[in-house]
Amino acid sequence: MSSTTEVTPSGATGRGSSPRGKGGDTRPASNPGAGASRRRQGLAAWTLALPFCLLFLVFTAWPVIQSLFMSFTDTRSRDLRTPFAVDIVGLDNFTKAFSDPIFRKSMLNTAYFVVVGVPLTMAMALAAAVALDKGITKLRGLFRLGFYTPVITSIVAVAVVWRFLLERDYGLINTVLGWVGIDGPNWLGDPNWAMPGLILMASWRNFGTGMIIFLAGLQAVPWMLHEAAAIDGAGAWQRFRHITLPLLRPTLLFVSVTTAIGYLQFFEEPFVMTNGGPLNSTISMSMYTYKQFGFGNYGLASAMSYIIFVIVAIVTAIQFRLLRENT
């Protein structure tokens, strides 16, 4: 009896032979070289990222962890040589911070600065952006540079200029007010007017950043929407209110959050202009925390720093909730 031999499509001979592997698995055989190549790529990636990781751990992560631990201790300048000999005081530093009348005053000053300064800065930035986008056609680049220059100017130079502008007797602002019969206030010497003076300076100095961002947002608004609204009889203000502003909502969210975060930590303006005076009317949370570090109260200052962090986080969350609902 003769046996038949089948020829498979792959050219192999044998009874009932099949191109499938054992168990019908059609997966290709593993390539050891591919795994080694992936491991080399991963090693190269970690090698390139290692310097950043080390710098982040040493100069960011470790100081944050150390300051958090310090906020629960009575660490002072004398304890720097013996950091493990400090006593754990729990929440005493946080209680002491909130019971400090100057810190509470600094919280109110910071809230005043943010509530008034953020809308004013955003309004100035949006007005400048609209002017550059629609109104100013000649020398637009020069105006853009001029509006943004205060942002990159040294705070010391800005302080020199604004000290002259806000000077009581010979300052430019009071001189202009005198032309119209208004007796200008003592901007930097009166506790009631010192903070408005700083807000004016800060808004002038910082609106350029928001202007650049708003200008990019305005240029992304489709012009056909304005044309269609104009054909329907909508005026310039109606088009701005019902078309431009709704489409700028994500940009408004970004600018408001970044501006508020910066103003909640404002330090340079009172430091160079008033040193927190008069009568602590311009001292901010960041400035008072800085002074506590200078006094050697490291535990208390660390607790104040984390209070500022929590406040910034809460305000940011509220802004996201209010402005992101209709985005």
Task: Give mean pLDDT in consecutive 10-residue pieces for the chain, a chain of 327 residues.
Answer: 46 47 53 71 86 91 88 82 78 93 95 95 93 78 86 88 88 90 89 93 93 90 82 81 85 91 90 89 93 90 93 88 66
Q: How far apart are CA 300 and CA 304, in angstroms?
A: 6
pLDDT at 2: 46
pLDDT at 18: 47
Structural domain count, the chain: 1
Q: How far apart are CA 106 and CA 68, in angstroms?
A: 22
Element (H, E) at 208: helix 194-219
Strand partners, 73: 88
- For residue 20, tell me if it sits in a domain: no
DSSP 188: T
Closest Cα partner for 314 from 25, 78, 111, 31? 111
Task: Dig out the tokens for 242 from the structure.
Answer: 């019902």
- For residue 86, tell me if it sits in a domain: no
pLDDT at 6: 46
Closest Cα partner for 272 from 281, 282, 285? 282
- For residue 101, tell me if it sits in a domain: yes
Beta strands in 181-279 (DSSP E): none
- For residue 296, tell me if it sits in a domain: yes
- For residue 44, tell me if it sits in a domain: no
CATH number of the domain that 237 lies in? 1.10.3720.10
Give the residue numbers spanning the domain of 184. 94-323
Largest interatomic CA distance in the chain: 129
Tens of pLDDT, residue by residue over 162-218, are 988 998 888 899 999 999 988 889 999 999 999 999 999 999 999 999 999 999 988
pLDDT at 9: 46
pLDDT at 108: 95
- For residue 242, tell me if it sits in a domain: yes
- For residue 244, tell me if it sits in a domain: yes
pLDDT at 12: 46
pTM (predicted TM-score)? 0.79
- For residue 158, tell me if it sits in a domain: yes
Residues 6+ apart with CB under 8 A from 10: 19
Relative orientation angle of helices 155-165 and 172-179, to the nearest 10 degrees: 30
Helices (H) and strands (E) in the chain, counts: 15, 0
